[in-house]
Amino acid sequence: MILNKSELSKALQKASTTILESSKDSSSFLLFHFEKEELYLKSFQNKIFTTTPLVYSGESSCIDFALNFKRFKKWVQTVGSEEIEIDFNDREKILLAKNDRGTVDFAVLNTETFPSWDFIVEKSKKTGEVQADSLAKAFTYSKNFIYSDENSKPQFATSELKNGVLSSTDLGGLSTIYLEGLEACSFRVHKNNISKMLKWLSYQGSDSIEVWKHEKAFVLKTTDGSLYGEIEISVPYAGPSFSKKDLETTFFIEVTKKDLNYAIKHLWSAANWDQSYLEMTILEDSVELVLDSEAKNKLVTSIDRIASKQDLDLPSTILVSKDYLEKIVRLFPEETLKLGVLKKGNKNGFFVTSHSYNDDEYISIMSWRS
């Protein structure tokens, strides 16, 4: 069997998404799997898995085999020619790999120890279609709002897509993203697997991705037959949900990100670093920010704001999380930050930001109190 080095290297990149190279079990191995003389590279790690098609030429025994991914990858990197010839000796359970520098042999793993997820793929149903970069953008944003302590609150350790709305919360703030074309899609991704899914999506560019759903898993498929899947955790996401109507605002705090960033850093340099909240007073054409200093004095600075066309009966001073305010500023893509203000009772409420990417709408929420 003859493989093209460039195509093999690309396939190994995709497969590496779910390879655990440091492992001593089969999750550090790469499976070469044949279906009707077509070749697929398969890999897995815990509850995630990938399948990548690879074209070959010449004759092949079409016998499945698995070999150590790290060793094989290192060997491929040494190849100078574009052609790689490999021959599996089923009787001796070794793989002979040949190139312009000579021949090496690799021990292979008994493929019966390699798990199969074919039944998941076969029983899945297509629920939607989306561009890879749009899905990646949404999960990249959403992961900033996932609760970190999985052991105490596993119900908040995921980003969950439900009927086209991607949500996550760390109980201090909330991200809600409305994804065009995925209105019939629902699946959840564990926080530890988001980076792996994003890595796989990065290899797809802006290509179209199909979303398939199994009762216990989801699968992402490309037009060339590549796929990424995850067996979902059984604990459902339990974060609050808001409709777009719930988050409509008429009163805004509109400031430049540059001014707000500078004001926070200016105060924080001399502040008592044990405090987590800063005081905010919203005036007609400015916003006043206050922190306690290390010397037990009040540190005060103000920044200009564009006056809102509507008015809102707010407490004279409200408290907001410094870290959350900085997070909202960091994630907001435009230079002018427009914070919508909602009241929840007389003493509490939310700040709401909204922006778009392609046809998708991103909404972030953080709480304030008096």
| Sign of the Cα pseudo-torsion (20, 25, 29, 35, in order) | negative
Assess whether pLDDT exceeds 90 at residue 90: no
Backbone angles phi, psi at 268, to 5 degrees: -65, -25
Tokens of 329: 């500023």
pLDDT of the residue at 33: 93
Does this model's pTM top 0.85? My answer is yes
**Tens of pLDDT, residues 325-359:** 999 999 999 999 999 999 888 889 999 999 999 89
High-pLDDT (> 90) share of the chain, %: 71
**Tens of pLDDT, residues 1-13:** 899 999 999 999 9
pLDDT of the residue at 121: 94
pLDDT band at 81 (very low <50, low <70, confident <90, very high): confident
pLDDT band at 92 (very low <50, low <70, confident <90, very high): low
Pick from 218, 11, 64: nearest CA to 126: 218
Give the integer Cα–Cα distance in Å for 347 and 307.
22
Residue in this structure with the two tokens 């070999």, named with its chain if needed: 67
Report the amino acid identity of residue 212.
W
**Tens of pLDDT, residues 248-278:** 888 999 999 999 999 999 999 999 999 999 9
> What is the dihedral angle through the alpha carbons of 43, 48, 51, 52, rounded to the nearest 10 degrees?
-80
pLDDT band at 112 (very low <50, low <70, confident <90, very high): confident
Pick from 162, 157, 156: nearest CA to 187: 162
**Tens of pLDDT, residues 129-138:** 999 999 999 9
Tokens of 289: 């920010």
The string of DSSP codes covering 212-262 is EEETTEEEEE-TTS-EEEEEPPSSPP------TGGG--S-EEEEEHHHHHH
High-pLDDT (> 70) share of the chain, %: 99
Residues 6+ apart with CB under 8 A from 359: 180
pLDDT of the residue at 98: 84
The structural domains of the chain, ordered by start, are 2-113 (3.10.150.10), 118-231 (3.10.150.10), 245-369 (3.10.150.10)
Q: How much is the mean pLDDT over the chain?
A: 92
**Tens of pLDDT, residues 281-300:** 998 899 999 999 999 899 99
* Burial of 83 per CB tally in 10 Å (0-12, 13-18, 19+): middle
**Tens of pLDDT, residues 17-29:** 999 998 888 899 9
* pLDDT, mean of residues 42-69: 91
